[in-house]
Amino acid sequence: MKGLATIRMDAGEGPCFPEREGNGLCDESELSQAKDSLSALDRRWREVGQNPSAFLRQSLGDRTDLFQSGSSFPRAKASLSPGAQRVLEERSIRLRVFHRHHLPETRVVREEGGGRIEIRHRPYQHVGILLPKAKLPVSMLLSLVCPPQVAGVPRVSLALELEENEDPSTGFLAACEVLGIQQLVRRGGAEGVFMLSEGLGLSSGCDLILGGDGPSSTWAMKRLGGRVRVLPMGGGEDLLLIADRRAEVDPLLVEEILLHAELQEKGRCILLSSSEDFLQALGFALWERADRLPRGRKAFVKKNLQSSVERVLVSSLRRAFEILDQFCPKRILLRLQHSSKWMSQLPPCPCVQIGPSASLLGSYFNHPWVHPPMGSIEGFFSPKFFLRPMSIVKGPEETISEECLEFWKEIEEVPAVLLSSKLSNKGGGGQKRAAFSGKKREGL
């Protein structure tokens, strides 16, 4: 039977995953198509000498209809109702206020003799955001754009896969107007990543790219090397779900697991439950939803579902929490009737989501104005990801005492040439102190 790996029966003791097994395969035609797509990108990459600009010239030619500047955006905000305008502006303000509390502070460390080390943070100059192909609400746009703007990034550009005659939604353009977005690239995937990095159609190239929309964009980000910093989206490396017998399979849970499978290449998705019916129903729902994905994404997501999703039937919830020390999850989903009594048994984790209402995607769909949706690295996308630390060192205005240098020489046991010249020419005082120190050590 084609589908996810079969449900693993927990032995009740010992390690739960001695070996990783894989059952079920995608259609060979689907897998070969996904491989051929990335192989074709590799072949074209070699043909153009691994040059992003040449890659774009080969793909796009001299097309100029793939860029949209802010001056050409229609005044979409005015077409919204007064209530919708108010909610959109309040959401933007709430996000900015939240992220201002997470800005790193400038710190000054004063040394002996008047020396000073100042640690400042400078923002990136141009951040590019590649939005997923899925028709996510405007909350996704707001949540990704507000942190770099709060950090002081002067220019933020967007890339979004659009059809030839397709225009962004009115709400999307209204959010761009509220945020002051001035540049939009109408391409996604590898072309969108390279257009952002090279600045094709933009005022300049991006020095940081955030987001992703599938395997081709991941492929392109890896080819950028160290020239451009990339910050992929996702929920961390490992996703862990713990569900009891009363848990239900809801669409948001299915979408979260699919998103994790698409955006995380190495992360596993461990599904622990004491209900075999729940695990069976979840497996069927995942496979059925993956079948409805666009053809280019379907094979890739199915392959990742088979290799990364592990369904484990445990004898009890107590056993599920006993084996948590085998994992280091970056995100834990709890679908339990009484979650509070199990919180003390959770391993350290950046993000714990309790119940369907705490779903990341639920934040987008149901109540996007309540709190910032959480992202990848430490729970949410923070302004600090868009800042580069810089240390400013000011030399001491006064000479450090010779006595202090002499004692430090004794501690470090460094050659005298590394200390001041006065100490290396010094006679009796230094020798007396050294002799005194030697006697003291002998006394010990």
Residue 49 phi/psi, 5-degree rounding, is 70, 30
User: If pLDDT is split at 50, 70 and 90, which confidence band does 433 have?
Assistant: very low
Q: What is the dihedral of CA 366, 369, 375, 378, to 10 degrees?
A: -130
Mean pLDDT of the chain: 75
Supply the DSSP symbol for 347: P
pLDDT in tens, 156-194: 999 888 877 787 888 888 888 888 887 888 888 888 899
What pairing do the DSSP bridges indicate for beta strands 67-69 and 239-243? unpaired
Provide the CATH number for the domain formed by 64-233+383-392 in this structure. 3.40.50.1980
pTM confidence score? 0.64
The reported pLDDT for the residue numbered 232 is 57
pLDDT in tens, 310-368: 898 988 888 888 887 777 677 788 889 888 888 888 877 767 888 765 555 554 444 44
Supply the DSSP symbol for 376: S
The reported pLDDT for the residue numbered 430 is 45
pLDDT in tens, 207-266: 888 877 777 887 888 888 666 777 655 444 678 889 998 898 988 888 888 877 776 656
For residue 347, give the amino acid letter: P
The reported pLDDT for the residue numbered 442 is 45
What pairing do the DSSP bridges indicate for beta strands 116-123 and 107-110? antiparallel
Cα distance between residue 186 and residue 223, in whole Å: 21
Fold of 8-39+237-365: Rossmann fold (3.40.50)
pLDDT in tens, 10-47: 666 555 544 433 333 344 444 445 555 778 888 888 88
Check whether 390 has a pLDDT greater than 50: yes
Are 50 and 223 a contacting pair, CB within 8 Å?
yes
What pairing do the DSSP bridges indicate for beta strands 116-123 and 387-394? antiparallel
Among 53-57, 61-65, 108-112, 253-257, the least confident range: 61-65
Check whether 426 has a pLDDT greater than 50: no
Domain boundaries, the chain: 8-39+237-365, 64-233+383-392, 401-443
Tell me if 8-39+237-365 shares its fold with 64-233+383-392. yes
Are 150 and 93 a contacting pair, CB within 8 Å?
no
